[in-house]
């Protein structure tokens, strides 16, 4: 319980240093990771069943060479490909948005610095430092969030592409 309270206090201090924009970065990061975990779950647990079903239906067909059979094969591959690519655009958009949200924090932090300079003058370095940290911390948080998303979303895309190619290879047509 003590560890949880200390962790919560550290998060609160970090948000206090970086400003309210960090909540938006955290929400974007949370949604991004929930979607990526769902995609990994689909690739590892659901897609193999779907692939086995498609391959079994193809193997059960007597006609695999006609124009009609090729259209059925293409339709099944297209459906599987669509399922593999689901939510990838949202994930990639969230990855791209994280640094931009961080830059929003930079702008709000710099506004705070300029406001301090306008009201207090440039002599109070302590007040200006809080605005500068408010300007840099969200940018760093947005970049870290984006970096984790770039790595894992790229891996997801590669796995989905490989799964699609394996499905195509599993449905021979002559």
pLDDT tens digit sequence for 19-55: 788 889 999 999 999 999 999 999 999 999 999 999 9
HSE-CB of 112 using CA atoms within 13 angstroms: 22
pLDDT digits (tens, 9 = 90+) for 121-169: 666 677 667 677 777 888 889 999 999 999 999 999 999 999 999 999 9
| CB-CB contact of 105 with 22 (8 Å) | yes
Instruction: Quote the CA–CA distance of 33 and 143 in Å, as a whole number.
Output: 15
Residues 6+ apart with CB under 8 A from 145: 25, 28, 29, 32, 98, 102
| CB-CB contact of 19 with 105 (8 Å) | yes
pLDDT digits (tens, 9 = 90+) for 62-86: 988 899 999 999 999 999 999 999 9
CA angle 153, 154, 158 (to 5 degrees): 115
What's the whole-model pTM score? Answer: 0.83
**Helix, coil or strand: residue 138:** helix
């Amino acid at each position: 319980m003590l560890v949880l309270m200390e962790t919560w206090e550290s998060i609160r201090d970090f948000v206090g240093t970086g400003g309210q924009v960090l909540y938006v970065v955290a929400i974007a990061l949370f949604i991004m990771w929930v979607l990526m975990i769902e995609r990994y779950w689909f690739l590892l647990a659901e897609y193999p069943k779907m692939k086995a079903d498609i391959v079994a239906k193809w193997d059960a067909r007597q006609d695999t060479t006609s124009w009609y059979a090729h259209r059925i094969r293409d339709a099944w591959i297209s459906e599987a490909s669509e399922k593999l690519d689901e939510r990838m655009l949202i994930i990639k958009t969230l990855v791209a948005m994280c640094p931009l949200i961080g830059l929003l924090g930079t702008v709000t932090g710099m506004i705070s610095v300029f406001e301090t300079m306008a009201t207090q003058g440039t002599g109070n370095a302590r007040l200006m430092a809080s605005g500068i940290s408010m300007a840099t911390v969200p940018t760093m948080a947005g970049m870290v969030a984006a970096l984790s998303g770039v790595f894992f979303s790229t891996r997801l895309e590669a796995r989905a592409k490989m799964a699609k190619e394996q499905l195509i290879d599993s449905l021979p047509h002559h």
